[in-house]
Amino acid sequence: MSPIRIREFAISEYDSLYNLWTEAGLIIRPGDDLGGIGLKLKRDSDLFLLAIDGNELVASVMGGWDGRRGWIYHLAVKPSHRRQGIARILLAELEKRLAKKGAKKINAQIYKSNTNSLRFFDECGYQIHSDLVMIGKELKNRGL
């Protein structure tokens, strides 16, 4: 393994990113298509990070900033590169960038069945808030 480089994502890398997410086992949602990712880049391009080993994309994380809280989305590491500290490097860089924006708290949403991610975030100091309920609604294109 070469030294890992962290850099921002470019939309031209979408196919490689999508392949990484699929290989890592992420659940691909409607906003994860090319158009949705393009919108994400317009808002927080500095919070969409990649980990590169040599010339290979091996991990990614999407961060979000809503003006009050930081958010973590789609932390993914290629299975062949897991357990090498890459996720911690990406997470630390994202936390640093969010803190610089003024975030005092960072949240992530993790499926209960994703025990590996739950364990990872616990090891990184994140706490499960069992008193919170995640709710959501998919919006249909209503011609807006």
Per-domain residue ranges of the chain: 4-109
Residue 109: is its pLDDT beyond 90? no
- Return the pLDDT at 5: 95
Global model pTM greater than 0.75: yes
Mapping DSSP onto H, E and C, the string for the chain reads CCCEEEEECCHHHHHHHHHHHHHHCCCCCHHHCHHHHHHHHHHHHHHEEEEEECCEEEEEEEEEECCCCEEEEEEEECHHHCCCCHHHHHHHHHHHHHHHHCCCCEEECCCCCCHHHHHHHHHCCCCCCCCCCCCCCCCCCCCC
pLDDT at 81: 94
Beta-bridge partner residues of 77: 59
- Spatial neighbors of 118 by CB under 8 A, at least 6 apart, are 110, 112, 128
**pLDDT digit string, tens, across residues 87-108:** 999 999 999 999 999 999 999 9
The CATH code belonging to domain 4-109 is: 3.40.630.30
